[in-house]
Structure 1
Amino acid sequence: MSLQDQNSSSETAAFRRPASEVMRLARMGSSHPTRLSFLRVLLRRLTDEDWVIDRPVWEVDAKGLGHAVYRVKGPERTYSLVAFSHDLPAEMRSDRVIATAWDATFTLFDGDPSPEDIARLGDNVPLQEAGRISPTELTLARANRSVRLFDHVVGALSQGQQPDPEEIAAVGYLMRTTAVYGSGKFGAADRDDIAARPELAAPFQVEMLTVWLIRAFTVDIAEHMAAVKGGDRTVGLSPEIRRMLGVGNSTGLGMAPFIVRHPVLLNNWIMAREEALARVRAQPGAADDAVAGMGKALDAAIRNADIWRSVHPVQVEKLHDLRRDLAMVSDKLSDWDTQQPRPWDALWTWGSETLSHEGQEALLALMLEPHGDLVDDLADHMGADEAATFRLNGSMPIKDLRAILESEYAWALSIDFTSPENIARFWYVSEEKLEPRLGERASEEGATLEQPLCIARLIAELYAALQGFDDATPVASLLLAHPEHRYTVRRAQIAQHHPFAEVHDNLIAADMLPIDLLRCKLAFFGANQFDPRSDRWVRINLFQGAPYPDDVQAEKST
């Protein structure tokens, strides 16, 4: 049963925010990670199901060259990260997707790799796109060192000292991934081949597992190089500093189209989060342990906001709002009447009337945090069988299609696409870099190669085309006459049953900020600090503060 079916007559419906509020870019661009974020889902499963994690292979020489295997054994299956460490000349280090050499390359192997498997992977994984992997591999990834911090950490440990915490905080990672591919790319297993596995049913679980194990490798390789340099006087990273390190990533426009091209998946992510909030708001009372848990989460959020740095003007303003709003939440909790009817709803109502978008979305995450028993099951509904919604309903009368457009897409039909500022940009794929790009329609060539990512304009064009057809005419007749509208009709029929399938903004407007799309997706991944470097790409850090494999093992033994 889908989440939509479960919630169609749910008692929580009255507490659910409408798509007209949730799906605006300004709010999506203020998203915060929650306990439903994909990396949190992964870490809970590893702990709850007593997965066994070890490193059976470490064959890395004094120059840092070699390979390692990180193995994760679950109730039914084993997954192994095979990591290859390279000697990358400085002049070849590049974070661009078109780079050809990296400090380290990785693949997530489905099972326990044999020496023959490792030899095969050693011939292909370091080549990345130029090599080929098989359906036995689930991901393909690569990473580069943050050279200054990596060298600082190696140097300090080799001298028997801990690295400077301020240096660690300023960067936050020893390596940054430049790509983590899955879902059938370059010969890897198709998503459909593994989606039925319970541990991989939630979105991006193989990618999150890959990055989590890469994080362990980045610390291990740094400590290895320090031991080579310092010998017996070398020390390992302290647990406190170790936890401060995550895996960096710079994400640009390549991620933005994903949000648009997967409407059912986007709907299910947002629907799960909104249902979680509604469940919390609908509670008749506030248990003492939940109130205490929210207070603990608030303290962590305040600490995170205090160390969060950015120089981008948009993010600087957001950080100002966030810090102010978290202080207001703290003040509110000091006199919050937890004995009033539906106290969580009262808290949310106060926040929605008082806080900025940034503060409201942070409050959402805080309210979910102490309610795992109430909301964690929603993670099981965040995947999507997109093939199930691909089939067009050709028998639908034009009258019904018009009604869908007028109800679900009123926001799109209100946009004047004859105004230059509303068609100022166009999405295309760069021939040279093979990356999504935004062009300026008035000054750049390439609009003939425009990608169909401005759903609002496509809806407006479809609505105009309907005017020449009688209400009783089936959609099939429309599409015989105008096959160019097949894509848009399909989206409209999807939106009829998936209220959060569309971004309710014009994606080719002059003032559109692509980083809003990026932040929405990255928050669902679990990133908790966002540092935009322009309006088109953002730096993040994944798994910062999270446990390591040995921490998970230690927690299970206590």
Structure 2
Amino acid sequence: MSAPELEIAPQKALRPPSSVMRLRRMGAMFPTRLSFLRTLMRDLSANNVQVERRVWRMDDAGFGHAVYSVSLGGYDYSLVAISTDLPPELRTDRVIATAWDSAYVLYDGIPSEAEIARIVASAPKQEAARFTERDLVLSRANKSVRLFQHVTDALKSGVQPDEAMVRDVGYLMRTTAVYGNGKFGIADRGHIAARPCLGGPFAAEMLTVWLIRGFTHDLAEHVGGAALDAKLKRHLGIGNSTGLGMAPFLVSHPRLLDSWMQVRETALARIAALPTLKSAQQAKILDLAARAGRHLNEWSVPDEIAAERIAQLQRDWPAVQEVLAVKLAMPEPISAILDAAEQWFEDTQELLIALLLEPFGDLIDGLTECMANPYGAELDPSMPIEDLKALIKRDWDWATALDFESKEETAQFWYVSEAKQEPRLGLRHEEDGAKLESPLDIARQVANLATALEGAQGITAELVLKRPDLRFAVRRVQTLAIAPYGEIRDNMIADRCLPIDMLRCKLSFFGAAKFDPKSDRWTRITLCQGAPLFDELASADDWWLPCFGE
């Protein structure tokens, strides 16, 4: 008897990488139900996870430590949270900081008193300390001083805090780092990669952030001496300040990026193939479109470029809703809507795509199991040179067409700072340091490879033996051949390269919303806003683009 055939969901053709993998479009992405936080919340709900606050040793001012534990997939995990008195002169979100309002470790298991004491002593030092394989994630956060003070003062006075302030700020604390994967001696990702619910990308980090968010609620209620209204608590997420340190990740992990984007694009192709929509699905999409409009009206930032993009979204959105109202009842409605969306700019298109994915969890949620990818780039030394040339012609025309003799195409260079071991971006024609350049000049390296291949014959091994400086570019070209969404198809060293686009792409996969750029190199965001509270996991799947009070 032959094995039963797997049932494969119908789908349309995927959008081409040449369109999807451009910085401008990647910088327009929104969180979706495929984002890591949403996936984690569904897993917590499915596992009926209960959060236990095992330790609470805080003084009246809110300084001390606490321990929260969860049982997930047969394993116990604990967040050890330490709150300290931070002098105003030491308060900064910059990477040069050496002190923070709070520090955290996600611990593998239930920590003993001795282990708690070790973490309480070490975690506030962050990079200056060292950790063990029982420590899975390391983080730190600073208060939103104005809102935290207002909330606690209001609670002490017997009233709830001002709703407008809660809505406008949206978090009591913001993290300035959430470290995983072996940094400073903590456990490597491989230690937990096979465990239920934590095998997905950044799942342990997202669990840490959600537990930190609950701790900030508890801390404010402890200091204020009263309970926050659940509606307000739900809107209080966790802020985050993210800069250049995150930007090169997508370039350095092409196989992983390809998996993330393939899942997202496959999900879109699946729903685009739906022949019709049920009336309940149509109503849900219209309801979500109205919610997105309210969310846009609550999203205000001082950055002029970002503010104009939000304003354009607000101007486009009534027309989007009109298109939805007309086309949802048509044959192949999602496909028709996507065709109509070509009239709008990238931000509107990507917001619409995120919305359209939302009602179809039964069709697309299983794809998230394909987001983890342990494989790296590999070099095939047996590939004929002619095949290598053909790959460059097929996939890299955008790179070989660039003029790397011009200052515009070579304006910037990436390097790693000696002081903090963090990625930085320099101006090549104005600053020293280009000799220490990191290999993020992918387009230039492939263009150089294409030139070197002119007239060459034989196999790849012969080429890289003669020209070891081309090895990186060869590996990159071969990797893109099997990972078509693994390459950002823009010049990373051109004057037009904006790191904020890379940050937004990655953060949208985390589940971030309300991007608040402070320059083209760093941004503030909000995570877990609208997410279920510790006692609300049964309703874990309806908080896309939350609006205040809903």
TM tier, shorter chain?
over 0.9
For residue 297 of structure 1, what is the amino acid of its counterpart?
Answer: L
Counterpart residue number, 1:296: 287
Say if 2:392 is the partner of 1:405: yes
Residue identity opposite 1:238 in structure 2: D
Correspondence 1:319 to 2:310? yes
Q: Which amino acid in structure 2 is aligned with residue 426 of structure 1?
A: F
The residue type equivalent to 1:469 in the other structure is: A
**Equivalent residue for 1:453, pick from 422, 425, 440:** 440
**Rounded Cα–Cα distance in structure 1 between residues aligned with 2:382 and 2:323:** 54
Which letter maps to 2:268?
L
How far is the alpha carbon of 1:355 from its aligned partner? 1.7
CA distance in 1 between counterparts of 2:380 and 2:79 reads 44
Residue 301 of structure 2 corresponds to residue 310 of structure 1: yes
- Match for 1:416: what amino acid? D
- The aligned counterpart of 2:408 is 421
Q: What CA distance in whole angstroms lies between the structure 1 residues aligned with 2:287 and 2:271?
A: 17
**For the residues of structure 2 that align with 1:333 and 1:342, how far apart are their CA atoms?**
13
Amino acid at match of 1:435: E
Distance 2:73 2:502 in 1: 36
Aligned letter for 1:372?
Answer: G
Alpha-carbon offset, residue 468 of structure 1: 4.8
C-alpha displacement at 1:326, in angstroms? 2.1
Q: What is the deviation of 1:105?
A: 0.5
Of 317, 336, 340, which residue of structure 2 is paired with 1:350? 340
Instruction: Please list the CA deviations of residues 320-343 of structure 1 after superposition, one character each: whole Å capped at 9, or x if unmatched.
Output: 2211222112112222251x3312
Q: Label 1:324 to 1:274 Cα distance change in 2 as closer, same or farther (>3 A).
A: same
> How do 1:147-546 and structure 2 match up within 5 A?
147-227=145-225, 235-338=226-329, 340-351=330-341, 353-386=342-375, 389-470=376-457, 473-546=458-531
Equivalences, count: 536
Structure 2 residue aligned with 1:3: none
Partner residue of 1:38? 36
**Deviation at residue 554 of structure 1 after TM alignment:** 8.4
Q: Which residue of 2 aligns with 1:548?
A: 533
Structure 1 distance, partners of 2:498, 2:73, is 44
Identity of aligned residues (%): 50
CA–CA distance in structure 1, aligned partners of residues 229 and 494 of structure 2: 49
Contact kept? 1:172, 1:541, Cα under 8 Å: yes
Secondary structure of 1:277's aligned partner? helix
CA deviations on 1:505-556 (whole Å, 9 max, x unpaired) are: 1111112211111111111111121111111111101011111112226889
Q: Is the 8 A contact 1:52 1:74 kept in 2?
A: no
Q: Please give the per-residue CA displacement for 1:336-392, whole angstroms capped at 9, x wherever unaligned.
A: 251x331211111111x2221111101111110000000001110011112xx4442
SS where residue 475 of structure 2 aligns?
Answer: helix
Aligned partners of 2:18, 2:147: CA distance in 1, in Å? 44
The letter of the residue matching 2:332 is R
Are the equivalent residues in 2 in contact too, given 1:53–1:553 (CA < 8 A)? no
Distance 2:540 2:180 in 1: 30
Task: Note closer, same or farther for the CA distance 1:219–1:398 as it changes in structure 2 (3 Å cut).
Answer: same
The amino acid across from 1:411 in the alignment is W
The 3 A distance-change label for structure 1 pair 337 and 251 is closer
Contact 2:73 2:196 in 1 (8 A): no
Listed as ranges, the gaps of 5+ residues in structure 1 are: 1-5, 228-234
Give the residue type in structure 2 aligned to 1:348: L
Q: Tell me how far 1:170 sits from its aligned partner.
A: 2.2
Residue type of the alignment partner of 1:237: L
Structure 1 CA distance for aligned equivalents of residues 397 and 540 of structure 2: 51
Q: Equivalent residue of 2:245, what SS?
A: helix
Pairwise CA distance, 1:290:
1.6
- Measure, in 1, the Cα distance between the counterparts of 2:356 and 2:463: 47
Could you say what secondary structure the match of 2:268 adopts?
Answer: helix
Query: d(CA) in 1 for partners of 2:71 and 2:538?
Result: 12
Shift of 1:73: 1.1
Higher helix proportion (structure 1 or 2): 1
Q: Could you say what secondary structure the match of 1:363 adopts?
A: helix
Structure 2 stretches lacking a partner, 5+ long: 1-5, 542-550
Please give the TM-score of this superposition, normalised by the length of structure 2. 0.94
Name the SS for the 2:52 alignment partner. Answer: strand
Query: For the residues of structure 2 that align with 1:462 and 1:202, how far apart are their CA atoms?
Result: 35
Letter in structure 2 aligned against 1:120: R
AA aligned opposite 1:392: L
Q: CA 1:433/1:76 → structure 2, altered by over 3 Å: closer, same or farther?
A: closer
Separation in structure 1 between the aligned mates of residue 344 and residue 378 of structure 2, nearest angstrom: 42
Mapped contact 2:181–2:188 kept (Cα < 8 A) = yes
Q: How many angstroms does 1:430 deviate by?
A: 2.2
Secondary structure (helix, strand or coil) at the match of 2:347 reads helix
Find the counterpart in structure 1 of residue 548 from structure 2.
none
Deviations, residues 285-314 of structure 1 (Å, cap 9, x unaligned): 112222122122212211111110112222
Write the deviation string for residues 51-87 of structure 1: whole angstroms up to 9, x where unpaired: 2222111111123221111111124111111111111
SS of equivalent to 2:439: coil
Q: Shift of residue 10 of structure 1?
A: 7.7
Aligned partner of residue 79 in structure 2, secondary structure: strand
Post-superposition shift, 1:109?
0.6
CA distance in 2, matches of 1:417, 1:19: 23
Q: Which residue pairs with 1:19 in the alignment? A: 17
| Whole-angstrom CA distance in 2 between matches of 1:283 and 1:414 | 39
Report the Cα distance in structure 2 between the residues aligned to 1:520 and 1:314, rounded to whole angstroms: 17
Report the AA paired with residue 91 of structure 1.
E
The answer on whether the counterparts of 1:154 and 1:226 sit within 8 Å (CA) in structure 2 is yes
Amino acid at match of 1:358: D
Judged with a 3 Å threshold, the aligned counterparts in structure 2 of structure 1 residues 173 and 21 are, in CA distance, closer, same or farther, namely: same
Does the aligned pair in 1 maintain the 2:244–2:522 contact within 8 Å?
yes
Cα distance change of structure 1 residues 337 and 87 upon mapping to structure 2, 3 Å threshold: closer
Distance (Å, rounded) in 1 between the aligned partners of 2:332 and 2:47? 34
Question: How far apart are 1:447 and its partner, in Å?
Answer: 0.8
Which amino acid counterpart does residue 362 of structure 1 have in structure 2?
L
Give the Å deviation of 1:432.
3.5
Letter of the 2:343 counterpart = T
Relative distance call for 1:391 and 1:75 in structure 2 (3 A) is: closer
